[in-house]
Chain A
Amino acid sequence: MRSVTINPARMCQPIGAMYALFGVHAAVSLVHGSQGCAAYPMRMFNRHFRELVQVAVSSLGEDASVFGGKKNLTTAIKNVIARRHPELIGVITTCLSETIGDDIDGIIREGKYECKVVPIHTPSYVGSHVTGYDNALCSLVSHLSKEPDAVDERINIVPGMVNPGDIMEIKQMLDSMNVSYTILSDISETLNAPLMLPKPPFPEGGTSVDEIEDCANACGVISLCEHAGGSAAVFLKGKYGMAADTICPIGVENTDRFLAAVCDMTGGGIPNSLEKERGRLIDAMVDVHMKTYGKRAAIFADPDIALALAEFVTELGMDVVIISSSTASRKFLQKAKSVTDGGEILNGRDLYELHRAVKDREVDILFGNTKCKPIAKDEGVAFVRCGFPVYDRVGYHRYGIMGYHGGVYLTDMIMNAILEWEERE
């Protein structure tokens, strides 16, 4: 295997932690590191969501890197609270602060702060953005959740690094089932905010700190992306004995399973309106099956999304000839073997390797983020944009691909990509 990475498939942990914190109402991400570690990820959010994001940084300089960053961190927390009055600060570490070995848990514990301050360990030399999201969510839940005092029929949903549109799809399904829920954490409004004046100090929406504190009173937890949020579900199960499941509801059967799990946990049923939505998805799939059947698909995404997408395109009659995960994991490798029939599995390999595989495998259609566009272009394959970041087109964050309704949108997108590809000459 190469030592050099060419065209990386993944970002580093801090951006995943920010992603999670943007879904908490009036929360501030405070990066403990170099200024670039805040500035660069902010731009990636700007490009994908076309939204305002604000991230604070402790601005570690040369002195702090030698003598430790305690003073910078305590000053930064104090300044953020005094000027921004947040309900929560997530302190996000970096390769710099982890390598110099600042004891951020100790520093935070020593301080007496007017708002919740949660340490999130996200060294950039371990894992990826997915790991960062997972660590952040687990930190939030483990530091904030209180012992249950009145468990009810509410469920917790840990969405992972999905789009606002995906969370809207999940919410609409749960609403139609009359199920109460807490989304941990909810970017559906914070990263798809209306333009109305005056601008609120923090975007409206997001999960409140109270809701996170109360999350142990739910009867169950479902993580949609096991690699990005699964640890929080495992924590809730381990500490409070909460029923836990992990299902990524992309495609017909995955959504069926998701809804069945919700019914199991809450005792609810599936309303006719959802049955109709399922019927519409099947209708959309029937409409296009003469074009989708037998197409050779290459899928690149974060691990859970890649697996679920592979299952969905299989439902559309495609052959998954390549499945590629941004982040290496043993679980991905195992599951990838079961969702592909002899297809090539790229477990956390870079996009240069994906390009090589696309060339070798006579791919018809490629699924991936904007970084995959040159591969699709060079190899002349149909291209369906999904995942994070997508910034060469607008609006992808607004529309969900999860659930039956999201499946219709995804089916149409796939079909249109095939039609455009057929018209390319």
Chain B
Amino acid sequence: MPFTLLKSDKPIPEREKHTYIKAASENLLPRCNVQTTPGDFTERGCTYAGCMGVVCGPIKDVIHLVHGPIGCAYWTWGGGTRQNLSDNPGFHRKYCFSTDMQEDNVIFGGEDKLYKSILEAHEEFPEAKGVFVHATCTIGLIGDDLNGVCKRAEQEIGIRVVPFNCEGFRGCSQSLGHHIANDTLFERVVGTKEPEYTTDYDMNIIGDYNIQGDLWVIKPLFERMGIRILCTFTGNASVDEIAQAHRAKLNLMHCQRSTPYICRLMEKKYGIPVLRASLFGIEQTSKALREVAAFFGLEDKAEEIIEEEESKVAPEIEEYRKKFDGKRVFIYQGAPRAWHWIPMFRELGIETIAAATTFGHEDDYAKICARVNDGVLVLDNPNALELEEILSELKPDLFVSGLKEKYLSYKLGVPFINGHSYENGPYAAYSGFLNFVSDIEKAMFAPVWGLIRREGHA
């Protein structure tokens, strides 16, 4: 039986198709990217979260104005729980803007309030390079003419005002929100500004959100090679960088679930080739550097950097590997990190015994299945009860997931790392990998786990 029905899922048999136990002889994938079973205690978020929370939020020099009732803006204030850092902390993540729709706005429409809000926000923060307007559920229902209002406001204030139709009820997860953000940024921003100059070594890093400063350890590796990073999409990005991203010679794509759309669009319109990479762990990072170097003809320089960086971290990693050897991990991430991290953990002697994603598509699951051993549980859109069952029955030595699942793990006595916003990051590339393994050690070897009492203990 390739698919399996977990005990907690007996009343919702449709979950069987989402729960796959890998067998090499088969060519199967779990069912994915479909509506959630109502009331199953899903961990998923909404389309607004994917658009405003994930893709747009990291852009550091625009006003992110949330059009709707107050809650949605409050949740994404400062990135919410996301640690998408930038070098503009005096503005970015410090301020939160909302039209704060009231009942009469819902009844009579919110267009006037939105228009005034855009003008006032611009007046308070004239240095902001644009206004991004994010629609929440109510807006799609009452039919405010978001595009019309934004166009009118743009003419009035003279900086770009970009509407995002990312109402929470659209789609089945955050994933559609990523797509909407990609399409809108491509249509409205990319290609609207020319860089001061171009070089033959201009590259964009697409799909990295600078979680706890990931980009600040990734970017210098390429710069030392002689590459100029034209745009980071969207970690620590200014809107002008995104506007001139069309002049890059290569798009290096990191998060391959939230940004393949814009990569495809840029390839089609501007002929920019795409290179897919994992920048976690030594092997994958070095591989990515080599592939980028081969594209630009910078192989010698890359080998120098790789040798230097690997020699700095490899001995320490080897020590950790001895300590971790034989441990078992359950990885549950948004999507790509689940498969980025399977080989990274293997480098550390840790095998993945279960892998799940919140909003993965078929290509994500194909990559997971290609990377895990036979018998590994591959699960789509797991809910809280399934997670509890897996953690209790499979008893992994480590669970890597997000904040909502953190305290479930803790209450079950299972060591945990927050893979979404990190514990003590950054986690990417070489020096970040050392942070990651150091956190893995803290999580698995903390003495407190040995002090927990079980029922019946005197």
Give residues in A with beta carbon < 8 Å to B.
2-8, 10-12, 14-15, 30, 33-44, 46-47, 50-62, 64-65, 72-73, 75-80, 82-84, 94-96, 99-100, 123-126, 128, 193, 195-199, 352, 371, 374
Contacts and interface: CB of A to CB of B under 8 A. Distances in A.
Nearest to A60: B169
A181 to B, nearest CB: 28
A8 B74 contact: yes
Nearest to A50: B407
Interface string B348-364: 00000000000000000
Contacts of A352: 95, 124
B283 to A, nearest CB: 33
A73 B77 contact: no
B277 interface: no
Contacts of A46: 81, 403-404, 406-407
**Those 8 A-B pairs whose CB atoms lie nearest each other, nearest first:** A76-B39, A12-B71, A36-B46, A82-B11, A34-B168, A40-B75, A4-B117, A76-B38
B75 A4 contact: no
A80 B39 contact: yes
Contacts of B118: 4
A82 B411 CA distance: 23
Given A37-B46, A124-B69, A126-B103, A43 B81 contact: yes
A78 B172 CA distance: 21
B270 interface: no
Contacts of B99: 3-5
Nearest to A132: B71
A5 B454 CA distance: 50
A15 B71 contact: yes
A365 to B, nearest CB: 22
A47 B169 CA distance: 25
B41 interface: yes
B40 A8 contact: no
A36 B120 contact: no
B39 A51 contact: no
Contacts of B2: none
Nearest to A11: B74
Contacts of A41: 71, 75
A5 B100 contact: yes
Contacts of A3: 99, 113, 116-117, 120
Between A6, A50, A99, A126, the greatest number of chain B beta carbons within 10 A of the residue's beta carbon is seen for A6
Contact of B169 (A15, A39, A61, A75): A61
A128 B70 contact: yes
Given A57-B36, A61-B171, A125-B103, 14 more contacts: A8-B98, A11-B74, A33-B169, A35-B45, A46-B406, A61-B170, A64-B169, A72-B38, A79-B37, A84-B41, A96-B141, A99-B137, A125-B101, A128-B70
Given A35-B42, A95-B138, A4 B36 contact: no
Contacts of B404: 39, 42-43, 46
Contact of B96 (A6, A40, A60, A96): A6
B173 A58 contact: no
A177 B455 CA distance: 34
B72 A36 contact: yes
A15 B70 CA distance: 12
Contacts of A59: 35-39, 42, 44, 172
Nearest to B141: A99
B116 A125 contact: no
Nearest to B449: A195
Contacts of A62: 169-171
A4 to B, nearest CB: 4
A56 B41 contact: yes
Contact of B98 (A4, A123, A197): A4
Nearest to B118: A4
Interface in B69-95: 69-75, 77, 80-81, 94-95
A21 to B, nearest CB: 14
Contact of B73 (A8, A77, A193, A198): A8
B454 A197 contact: yes
A6 B38 contact: no
A40 B80 contact: yes
A124 B385 contact: no
B69 A95 contact: yes
Given A35-B42, A125-B138, A195 B168 contact: no
Contact of A96 (B39, B121, B169): B169
A6 B116 CA distance: 13
Given A42-B404, A54-B384, A79-B39, A4 B116 contact: yes
A39 B137 CA distance: 15
A163 B96 CA distance: 26
A273 B152 CA distance: 68
B42 A371 contact: no
B142 interface: yes
Interface in B128-182: 136-138, 140-142, 168-173
Nearest to B410: A195
A36 B168 contact: yes
B38 A34 contact: no
Contacts of A198: 454-455
Contacts of A60: 169
